[in-house]
Amino acid sequence: MPSVGIVVGDGKKEYPGKLTLYVTVTCIVAAMGGLIFGYDIGISGGVTTMDSFQQKFFPSVYEKQKKDHVSNQYCRFDSVSLTLFTSSLYLAALCSSIVASYVTRKFGRKISMLLGGVLFCAGALLNGFATAIWMLIVGRLLLGFGIGFTNQSVPLYLSEMAPYKFRGALNIGFQLSITIGILIANVLNFFFSKISGWGWRLSLGGAVVPALIITVGSLILPDTPNSMIERGQFKLAETKLRKIRGVDDVDDEINDLIAASEASKLVEHPWRNLLQRKYRPHLTMAILIPAFQQLTGINVIMFYAPVLFQTIGFGSDAALISAVVTGLVNVGATVVSIYGVDKWGRRFLFLEGGFQMLISQVAVAAAIGAKFGVDGNPGVLPKWYAIVVVLFICIYVAAFAWSWGPLGWLVPSEIFPLEIRSAAQSITVSMNMIFTFLIAQVFLMMLCHLKFGLFIFFAFFMVVMSIFVYFFLPETRGVPIEEMKQVWRSHWYWSKFVDARRT
Ligand code: BGC
């Protein structure tokens, strides 16, 4: 068997181009599209636990929680309606990413980002001013529609704009914005929750700020040369590409973009096309990478962290401390991946991160099992023991933040050929949303039944996904995006599907 996951791209085409100030600023602005997603992840969990919010919109949940003194720690949080409210956004995002695939292809990446910002803004206003439950739900759906548009277009935009040698670093700006959004939202939530009665309005309404950033940003951003060519604007694309790359000689790259666009024109039905044999590797990655990203259990750890911090004895400050500690680790480790992704490659980060998460998950499972046992009775936990748990949570979050977090968005956005790029990216977004939704929905139930075994469940998937990466994911570092077919052609397994004679 030939070696697996060989690095290709060496000795292949090298387009001239520098990391210009223009492309850097453009990518930073576009990456801010991640802020709205991050802000929502950080804000929604906290808001749904605020008393005033529950009393106003979910009085029965509030009553039940006040009455219930559940002795089983594993079954403490079990309000399905609240979880459903939170996760309705993911279903909305799923639907809109499919519409976004059409808009992104026909009208450009920029328009999708703009629509994303505007819809999110409308949702934030409706939520902030909500006086009835329908306003809350419609607002939440609008937020979801917005996220579907931006998560579909921003990663593609960044991967197309970036010079290929810096594509990883520039694309991860998106994940960096997500993590910054989460951190800011968590900290704000902590303080807003102290304003009794209407603090939740500030938390929810505050989403207007990141929404305006990406709305205004998308108005001033140029579209990508790939997208301009896809829509027949050849001259404009050439001038733009010169400016983006900071060199005059962009002929090679332009010719390849035109060739990609010609191939793309022949495709009338990108969705049906995706089912063709030659796109099997792309379709597999579009489905599995986002699913695996969620099966790392990251959102469960994020949710569970405050509870663990409480056991250390931080009391009412636990939520803040947990948010700040895990939030800073999340942001910091994402910066590490920006530094390393184009140097060490995607596979190294995936595999290292996977191993690190596996170890920490097993450790957390053991520690939680030791504290709550099989029946979930709170026991006495020595402080040093709890500190070790928190340490492992941080090690876990760091690993996610430099592997599956950013790569879960980067790798899909760089591997699809132009003719299926937009459709395939919306599959990636949809899968991410479906799995986030499913895990959020079944998490409470699973925690109640699997107990600390829940972490073993995720650890099992860590093993599966690492094996998958090792054998099936080729290295994509340093390969120009329109040259990616070479990567599959020289892969031990995927070459059967994309064989040169059959493509
Ligand atoms: C994931 C989110 C997750 C976040 C954590 C993102 O890449 O898609 O589900 O909450 O990273 O930083």
Residue nearest (by alpha carbon) to ligand 1 atom 8: 405
- Residue 480 backbone class (left: φ over 0; alpha: ψ -120 to 50; beta: rest): beta
Q: How far apart are CA 53 and CA 56, in angstroms?
A: 5
Q: What's the 322 CA to ligand 1 centre distance in angstroms?
A: 17
| pLDDT value, residue 168 | 96
| pLDDT value, residue 3 | 35
Chain centroid to CA 466: 19
Residue nearest (by alpha carbon) to ligand 1 atom 7: 405
Residue nearest (by alpha carbon) to ligand 1 atom 11: 405
Is residue 274 scored above 80 in pLDDT?
A: yes
**What is the CB < 6 Å shell around ligand 1?**
41, 175, 178-179, 182, 293, 298-299, 330, 405, 408, 432, 436
Task: Choose the residue to mutate in 37, 94, 298 for probing ligand 1, maximizing ligand atoms within 8 Å of C-beta.
Answer: 298
Distances (CA, A) of 238 to 106, 265, 484: 19, 19, 21
Inter-residue contact 211 to 36 (CB < 8 Å): yes
Question: Measured between alpha carbons, how far apart are the two ends of the chain, in Å?
Answer: 23
Q: What are the pLDDT digits (tens) for 76-93?
A: 555 677 777 888 899 999
**Core vs surface per residue 90-122: b (16+ CB within 10 A) or e:** bbbbbebbbbbbebbbeebbbbbbbbbbbbbbb
Is residue 8 scored above 50 in pLDDT?
A: no
Q: What are the pLDDT digits (tens) for 12-53?
A: 677 888 899 999 999 999 999 999 999 999 888 778 878 888
For residue 58, give both structure tokens.
């979910």
Q: What are the pLDDT digits (tens) for 194-214?
A: 898 899 999 999 999 999 999
**Core vs surface per residue 167-187: b (16+ CB within 10 A) or e:** bbbbbbbbbbbbbbbbbbbbe
Residue nearest (by alpha carbon) to ligand 1 atom 6: 405
Q: What's the 216 CA to ligand 1 centre distance in angstroms?
A: 24
Query: pTM, whole model, 2 decimals?
Result: 0.91
Ligand 1: nearest atom to the Cα of 182: 12
Q: What's the 128 CA to ligand 1 centre distance in angstroms?
A: 24
Q: What are the pLDDT digits (tens) for 137-189?
A: 999 999 999 999 999 999 999 999 999 999 999 999 999 999 999 999 989 98
When pLDDT is cut at 50, 70 and 90, the band that residue 372 belongs to is low
Inter-residue contact 152 to 104 (CB < 8 Å): yes
Ligand 1: nearest atom to the Cα of 404: 7
CB neighbour list of residue 178: distance below 8 Å, 6 or more residues apart:
34, 35, 37, 38, 41, 405
CB neighbour list of residue 191: distance below 8 Å, 6 or more residues apart:
none
Ligand 1: nearest atom to the Cα of 299: 10
Q: What's the 44 CA to ligand 1 centre distance in angstroms?
A: 14
Q: Where are the alpha helices (DSSP H) in 129-198?
A: 133-161, 167-171, 173-192
Q: What are the pLDDT digits (tens) for 91-127?
A: 999 999 999 999 998 999 999 999 999 999 999 999 9
Inter-residue contact 8 to 475 (CB < 8 Å): yes
Residue nearest (by alpha carbon) to ligand 1 atom 10: 299
| pLDDT value, residue 378 | 55
For residue 475, give the 3-state DSSP assignment: strand
Q: How far apart are CA 182 and CA 39, in angstroms?
A: 5
Percent of the chain residues past pLDDT 70, beyond the cut: 89
Distances (CA, A) of 304 to 77, 290, 318, 375, 497: 11, 21, 11, 18, 42
CB neighbour list of residue 59: distance below 8 Å, 6 or more residues apart:
none
Q: What's the 162 CA to ligand 1 centre distance in angstroms?
A: 22
| pLDDT value, residue 2 | 36
| pLDDT value, residue 376 | 60
Q: What's the 245 CA to ligand 1 centre distance in angstroms?
A: 31
- Residue 376 backbone class (left: φ over 0; alpha: ψ -120 to 50; beta: rest): left
For residue 68, give the 3-state DSSP assignment: coil
Task: Choose the residue to mutate in 293, 303, 334 for probing ligand 1, maximizing ligand atoms within 8 Å of C-beta.
Answer: 293
Residue with the larger pLDDT of the pair 5 and 228? 228
